[in-house]
Chains A and B, each alone.
Chain A
Amino acid sequence: MDKSEIYVQLLSVFRRVFENDSINIEDSTTADDIENWDSMTHLMLITEIEEDFSIEINGMDIMNLHNVGNLASLIERKKS
């Protein structure tokens, strides 16, 4: 799976979790940029991504996620 495909799917997850169709994401997007991003939605986001992409995200991975770019790279790594 390449980066642009990941971003397409990721965007639909974001829009679903945050219940907002006008959200847009890029590499530098962080929790501060998106309204309603708290630990509940963070948790939901991670579990939805795990399901959607059929991957497992563990504790070690979580600690290094600082922005959406990290997230996308993580997914890319897990899918390869």
Chain B
Amino acid sequence: MLFNSFEFLVFFIALVIVYFSINSKYRWMLLLAASYYFYMSWKAEYILLILFTTAVSYFCSIWMQSAETLPKRRRILIFSLVVNLGVLFFFKYFNFLYDGVRDVLSSYSIQYEYAGLDILLPLGISFYTFQTIGYNLDVFYQVRKPEKHFGIFALYVSFFPQLIAGPIERSTELLPQFYKEHKYDSQRIFNGIKYIIWGLFKKLVIADRLVPSVNEAFSHTEMYSGSTMLFASLLFAIQLYADFSAYSEIAKGLAKILGYKLMDNFNHPFISKNITEFWRRWHISLSFWLRDYLYTPILFSKKKWGKWAIVYSLLITFTLVGIWHGTRINFVILGLLQAVALIFEMFTKKFRKKLSKAMPKGIYNRLSMIITLIYILYSFSFFKAKTFQDSLNISKSLFSSLFDYLNLKNFILNMGYERFLFTLLLVLVFILSDQWIFKKVKEEKSSLANSLILFPFLIACTFIFGYFGEVEFIYFQF
């Protein structure tokens, strides 16, 4: 069930009514059943996978607790990691070598075909696997004790608002919440609804409207100039941001209505002045997870290398970020671009500080934002490009035809039938008002004017300007 579907609306309203009617002792059962039902609505067999991951993690953690020595604990941890990552690896990367090799070879006009198995990737597997691994690591590092209650642990792994596309929650933050009683609170429920309204607006009025133009540009990279591809990358960045942050905010709103607090996943990433800051504002739950569970342990295991430990750790972490996104070489490049930027920023910190003092603050900040944005757009072009050849085309045209405005003009005119200019107008208004509106969304107690005018206005805009063909959320394929 997609969040923006009628079935989900009915499902959720029914759930809320039952949730607040029954004794809070039994609510975890209701939520677990609802979460499994939600997951099975995509494909019934998925339930076996999530039960398997849940069981392995649950038993390994309890086992770890009773292990007497550190090496034994470590062995149990590695076992749980191998099993859980193995499942993830199997579904995601079975075709990786085949796809990757074939991709690179075809750009040199060598056709390499082999009938590999095409295994369908279960929805959400990257997200709940990471969330579960985080739990196992927390138990290993003795940050928390293992969860004894299997039902509540199963709920932690499968909690439906964040099951399919995050935010990836910490066991120390989310698990305890399932033990607390959450009373019916109309103010809190309205606050949750505000998140959902804003999420649906972003998805239907901004993200989905950009789909035709972005797909058109990235399907014909050989036809479009550098200027057009840069513009298309900008649109893609906005589409991805609107789509993914919408999902995260709807998740947060749904959880809030039920009384649970999920973390913020996005914090206006495009005002970042450098890539380091960008990753503190974009897909926050993933980057913080990586920082705490991957980057930091690797870094400190090589602390004798000093600065080079950081380089080493960044390279590994961000290559894995790339691979987490997908099986194509483009995603690896995406990851490496981040690592390179972060390493560069680390080594030039003092120099950049001196530079910022040498010019007026406003100019330095704006320049930083523009450079960061362009770097991000270039990285994102690897995210969206379908094949390695496409990325090569894009990179080539960015250098050769960056100022070909005629090509860009024709692209815009050709998209006209999709009411593209109006879409751009909506996008512009969105960019200018995003921060202001999100502040009102986060407010604990909105004024009557905002409650009865701004949010109904957003709903009306969604009705009138929304795109209502069926379009799935982008991050579902992860």
Q: Which residue of A lies closest to B345 (CB)?
A: A38
Smallest CB–CB gap between A64 and chain B, Å? 6
A47 within 8 A of B: yes
Alpha-carbon distance between A76 and B346 when the two chains are bound, in angstroms: 32
B107 within 8 A of A: no
Contact: A39 with B141, CB < 8 Å? no
Contact: A46 with B303, CB < 8 Å? yes
Contact: B295 with A59, CB < 8 Å? no
Task: Report which of A39, A46, A47, A59 forms a contact with B310, defined as CB distance below 8 A.
Answer: A39
Chain B residues positioned under 8 Å from A58 (CB to CB): 300
Alpha-carbon distance between A64 and B276 when the two chains are bound, in angstroms: 24
For B137, B300, B349, which residue has the most chain A Cβ atoms within 10 angstroms? B300
A55 within 8 A of B: no
Task: Report which of A39, A57, A60, A64 forms a contact with B299, defined as CB distance below 8 A.
Answer: A39
Q: What count of chain B residues pass the 8 Å CB interface test?
A: 21
Alpha-carbon distance between A38 and B143 when the two chains are bound, in angstroms: 22
A43 within 8 A of B: yes
Number of chain A interface residues as a range = 10 to 19
Chain A residues positioned under 8 Å from B313 (CB to CB): 39
Contact: A59 with B297, CB < 8 Å? yes
Given contacts A47-B303, A63-B143, contact A39 B295 (CB under 8 A): yes
Task: Report which of A46, A57, A59, A64 forms a contact with B143, defined as CB distance below 8 A.
Answer: A64
Q: Which residue of A lies closest to B297 (CB)?
A: A59
Q: Which residue of A lies closest to B300 (CB)?
A: A62
B307 within 8 A of A: yes
Chain B residues positioned under 8 Å from A60 (CB to CB): 70, 141-142
Contact: B310 with A43, CB < 8 Å? yes
Encode contact with B along A33-48: 1 for CB under 8 Å, 0 otherwise: 0000011100100110
Contact: B297 with A43, CB < 8 Å? no
Chain B residues positioned under 8 Å from A43 (CB to CB): 299-300, 303, 306, 309-310
Contact: B296 with A62, CB < 8 Å? yes
Q: Give the A-B pair count, Cβ closer than 8 A.
A: 43
Q: Interface on chain B toward A: helix, strand, loop, or mixed SS?
A: helix
Contact: B296 with A63, CB < 8 Å? yes
Alpha-carbon distance between A58 and B74 when the two chains are bound, in angstroms: 14
B301 within 8 A of A: yes
Q: Which residue of B lies closest to A44 (CB)?
A: B306
Alpha-carbon distance between A39 and B314 when the two chains are bound, in angstroms: 10
Q: Which residue of B lies closest to A47 (CB)?
A: B303
Chain A residues positioned under 8 Å from B297 (CB to CB): 59, 62-63
Residues of B within 8 A of A (CB): 70, 137, 141-143, 276, 292, 295-297, 299-301, 303, 306-307, 309-310, 313, 346, 349
26 sample A-B contacts, Cβ–Cβ < 8 Å, listed by A number: A38-B276, A39-B295, A39-B296, A39-B299, A39-B313, A40-B307, A40-B310, A40-B346, A40-B349, A43-B303, A43-B309, A46-B300, A47-B306, A58-B300, A59-B300, A59-B301, A62-B296, A62-B297, A63-B137, A63-B141, A63-B143, A63-B292, A63-B297, A64-B141, A64-B142, A64-B143
